[in-house]
Amino acid sequence: MSNSPSGESKNSINNINNNSVQKHTPPVKGEYGYYDHRLNLRGDGNWIIEVIESNTNSIIGPIACHYSMRMRMTNVPFITCNGPIHNVYHYISGNGETLN
């Protein structure tokens, strides 16, 4: 099996796109938070979270998140790994309504 420059296997990247990796909604504190641009374009809502920045160990947020996963994945088209989730606040629906 070949690896991508980030050290992630191509199978791992395919798994996230094929939904074979377990995604959690609402996002789970301690897991990696992900933002998927395709879900945003589709009008799906998102969760507001804070993450822990790995280099400085500081808290960053609020930022948007669609789901969380136990594993860290990078270099996946349309998907951003925001980092480990420190806190999950609330959900904002696709029409902008905030739900607690």
Q: Is the pLDDT of residue 62 over 60?
A: yes
With respect to residue 61, please indicate whether it lies within any of the assigned structural domains. Answer: yes
| Beta-sheet strands, E only, within the chain | 32-36, 46-52, 59-65, 67-69, 79-92, 98-99
Q: Is the pLDDT of residue 2 over 50?
A: no
With respect to residue 11, please indicate whether it lies within any of the assigned structural domains. Answer: no
What distance in Å separates the CA atoms of residue 57 and residue 47, rounded to the nearest whole number?
A: 22
With respect to residue 13, please indicate whether it lies within any of the assigned structural domains. Answer: no
Q: In the chain, how many domains are there? A: 1
Between residues 66 and 4, which one has the greater pLDDT? 66
